[in-house]
Amino acid sequence: MGASVKRAQLVLNIILLFIGGGGSPLLTRLYFVRGGNRVWFSSWLQTAGFPILLLPIAISYFSHRRASQNSSSPDGHVNKFFMNYRLFFASVIIGVLTGLDDFLMANGMERIPVSTSALISATQLAFTAGFAFLLVRQKFTSYSVNALVLLTIGAAVLAMHGKSDKPENESTGQYILGFAMMIGAAALYGFIMPFLELTYAKGGQEITYALVMQIQMVICLIATGFSTIGMLVNNDFQAIPREARNYTLGETKYYMVVIWSAIGWQFSFLGVIGIVFCASSLLSGIMVTLLIPVTQIFGVIFLREKFQAEKGVALALSIWGFVSYFYGEIKALKNPKNIPETEMSQPSNPLV
């Protein structure tokens, strides 16, 4: 694949991530603050939008098929369009982990403001970096290490400010539980992204963007099945119509919130795994972190959440860390002689 095509795909996935990742957490929080209380249903919505991938996958398939018919060696060309068994089973494992991560995140977002949960999610970058080093031998520079330290300190500052932004109708224990579950979700997500990058590298098949969409399809199908079991046990399907009727914004807006939430999370997830494909899991984590100020500002504006000094400090540290990381990448591209040979040989250069 040419460098220009991969750069275009990287830009496309960043846009998808920003559209979905910027709006879907707000819609999830809006679901809870306006009368929704079904955690398994909220978890289910984070992956249930996967059928929208059927159209681009179908278009990609017929495009490959047309190309194979025009090729001098059509045999096997279409077969390479589909994932092999190794990629399939790895996707199933990631799907189960994603379902668990969605459940932890839904529990956290039910109990704490979205502006706070967004900052806690920044800690996933530190977990991503650690697991990326262990699983895919991600190389670090002084700038990326500085970014990780700043983001970690930002999360620590946020944790120390305690329960000052705890919702009035919530107990301290529930708030602490939500905080802990968001940390757990960040840690698990920090493992999933490098594991996905390792899957791309060890899948035994050339990874194309069509395969990336298929992998997401399987992951979301399994994760949705995981949440569906929880919904069945919790009788969520029977409760949804009643919950919609009692929703403070009205029944119609209830269904609009849940539908757009599902679509937004799907865009966000496709953006994340697409960035891993085009670049690396570490860059994907960095881009997720960049969404923090967007989500935080929107949470304050639209949901009227509190914005204490501690949040401002954590936000400043997060932005500083992001700028540090990209300054290092730009400097490395301008001075390739300064990059160690082992690092230059890595296939996951963020800007390639």
* Token pair for 49: 């939008």
More confident residue, 250 or 80: 250
The segment with the largest mean pLDDT, out of 2-16, 149-163, 322-336, is 2-16
The answer to whether the beta carbons of residues 296 and 115 sit under 8 Å apart is yes
Give the pLDDT confidence score for residue 163 in this predicted structure. Answer: 54
Nearest CA-CA partner of 119 in 280, 292, 265, 288: 292
Mean pLDDT of 18-33: 90
* Percent of the chain residues topping a pLDDT of 70: 87
Rounded Cα–Cα distance for residues 107 and 127 (Å): 20
Q: Tell whether the model's pLDDT for residue 131 goes beyond 80.
A: yes
Q: Tell whether the model's pLDDT for residue 263 goes beyond 60.
A: yes
Q: CB neighbours of 188 closer than 8 A, spacing ≥ 6?
A: 97, 100, 101, 104
pLDDT tens digit sequence for 184-231: 999 999 999 999 999 999 988 888 889 999 999 999 999 999 999 999
Q: Tell whether the model's pLDDT for residue 57 goes beyond 50.
A: yes
More confident residue, 229 or 308: 229
Nearest CA-CA partner of 228 in 107, 103, 92: 103
Write down the pTM of the prediction.
Answer: 0.83
Mean pLDDT of 234-250: 95
Rounded Cα–Cα distance for residues 97 and 189 (Å): 8
Nearest CA-CA partner of 5 in 298, 209, 283: 209
pLDDT tens digit sequence for 62-110: 888 887 777 655 544 455 788 999 999 999 999 999 999 999 999 999 8
Mean pLDDT of 333-343: 51
pLDDT tens digit sequence for 30-53: 999 899 999 999 999 999 999 999
Q: Which residue has the tokens 């399987």?
A: 218
Nearest CA-CA partner of 210 in 38, 77, 299, 29: 77
Q: Tell whether the model's pLDDT for residue 167 goes beyond 80.
A: no
The answer for 140, left when phi > 0, alpha when psi is -120 to 50, beta otherwise, is: beta
Q: Tell whether the model's pLDDT for residue 324 goes beyond 90.
A: no
Confidence of residue 342 (pLDDT cuts 50, 70, 90): very low
Q: Which residues of 214-235 are buried (b: 16+ CB within 10 A; e: fewer)?
A: bbbbbbbbbbbebbbebbeeee
In a 13 Å sphere around the CA of 19, the CA atoms on its Cβ side amount to 14
Least confident of 18-27, 60-69, 308-317: 308-317
Least confident of 128-132, 204-208, 217-221, 342-346: 342-346
Least confident of 12-21, 201-210, 239-248, 312-321: 312-321
DSSP 220-279: HHHHHHHHHHHHHHTTHHHHHHHHHHT-TT-HHHHHHHHHHHHHHHHHHHHHHHHHHHHS
> Alpha-carbon dihedral of residues 244, 249, 250, 255, nearest 10 degrees?
-50
Mean pLDDT of 240-245: 95
Confidence of residue 161 (pLDDT cuts 50, 70, 90): low
